[in-house]
Every structure is written in C-alpha cells, then in structure tokens.
Amino acid sequence: MSVNLTPITPATGDGAYLSVSDARALAATLPLMTKVVAQTDDDLGTLLLLASIDIDAAMRYQGRKFDLTQVREFPRVAYGPPVTPLGVLIPGPSPYAIDTIVWDWNSDASAAIVPDAVKIACLFQVAWILQPQYAKRLESIRSGLAAQGIATASETLQSLAAAGGTMTGLSDRASRMLDQYRLKTGAML
C-alpha cells in the first residue's frame, strides 16, 4: 500500500509522523477510524504527537536515524557510519556517503521519508489512545495481571518476564506494523 502523502523529512519531521491533513486523508482509507476523524484539528495534532512519541519510545529499531540530529526515529538508514568496537565514530567519510542504504526514499523529492508502515502505525496508536480502557488494561498487565475471575473475583499476578514477552506501550496493530523495523541483530545506534 502506498500512502503517497506529504513527505516528512528530517528537516520537517520534528513533530508528529503525520500532519493533521495527511492523517485525515489516510484515516479515510482505513477501517474503524471514525473516532480519529471526529477529533478537532488541535486535538488530532496533539494525539498524533503523542502517538509519534509512543512509537519512538516503544522499542529499539534496526539501523540508525537518517540524520543524526533528527528528533524522530524515522526515517532510518540500514547502517550507521563506521564505528570502533567501543562505539566511537571513526573519522572519515560523511554518514551520508553514497554507500549508505536508506530504507525509505522518495525519488521525486530526492529525500528520505517516513515509511508508510510508521504513518499507519501512528494512526493505529491514535485510535488506541482514544480508547482509555485499553491503556488501563495494559497498565494492569504491566503490573503483573495474568488472569482474572468473575465468580470468585480472583486475580492471578505474574512478572512480565514470566509472561514471556515485553510491553512496548503500543497498540497491538501499531506494534505489528512496526515489527519489521524492530532491532533483531546488529548494533544499537
């Protein structure tokens, strides 16, 4: 799916991953986004920024930021500049050398862009933020809730490590959209 919205580049991407107008346009193409579209521009702008912050803080991502000074985690490049085993930059060619692999590139604008999956994940996260019962449930799980009973009002608690997973703070849909970018191997840059 090609979203084909206004490219958000490192120079303009220090706010949310989507502008309000682009979020409305994208939400119109996705199911179950009526609560998102119903927000005022100011509220939607705030929600998009919160969702973008959630995405950035959710996990370590493969590669590194396209521009080392950009505020947001995306756009990204596949590999960082050469580093020593201790992680210190080796003096030499620019980190934007011709051999740098940029994962999401807009040929028309000749610029690195935020991937479509990140934009969609941002909207999924906004929709999730608008459902406060989900955040309350996630907080219960983070606190160790593993099971609940109704008839006897029992609860079972366990540590997150014992549950065999990690909590990203993202909705399940947003997390699945971003899983392809999750750090699996290599250095954490």
Supply the angle between the helices 41-58 and 116-129 in degrees, to the nearest 10. Answer: 110
CB 155 within 8 A of CB 145: yes
Please report which confidence band the pLDDT of residue 166 belongs to, taking 50, 70 and 90 as the band edges.
low
Residue 87 has pLDDT above 50, yes or no: no
- Per-residue model confidence as pLDDT tens digits over 48-68: 999 999 999 999 998 888 888
Please calculate the CA angle 102-67-59 and round it to the nearest 5 degrees: 80
Residue 57, amino acid: A
22 versus 133: the higher-pLDDT residue is 22
> In the structure encoding, which two tokens stand for residue 187, read together?
């250095």
Residue 94 has pLDDT above 50, yes or no: no
Q: What is the pLDDT of residue 11?
A: 41
pTM over 0.85: no
Supply the angle between the helices 116-129 and 20-27 in degrees, to the nearest 10. Answer: 90
108 versus 33: the higher-pLDDT residue is 33
Residue closest to 145 by CA, chosen among 131, 159, 135, 127: 159
User: Do β-strands 64-65 and 76-77 pair in parallel, antiparallel, or remain unpaired?
Assistant: antiparallel
Q: Where would I find the H helices in 18-171? A: 20-27, 34-37, 41-58, 116-129, 132-142, 160-163
Distances (CA, A) of 59 to 31, 32, 55: 26, 26, 8
Q: What is the pLDDT of residue 97?
A: 46
Tokens 């995306």 belong to which residue? 74
Question: What percent of the chain has a predicted confidence (pLDDT) above 70?
Answer: 60
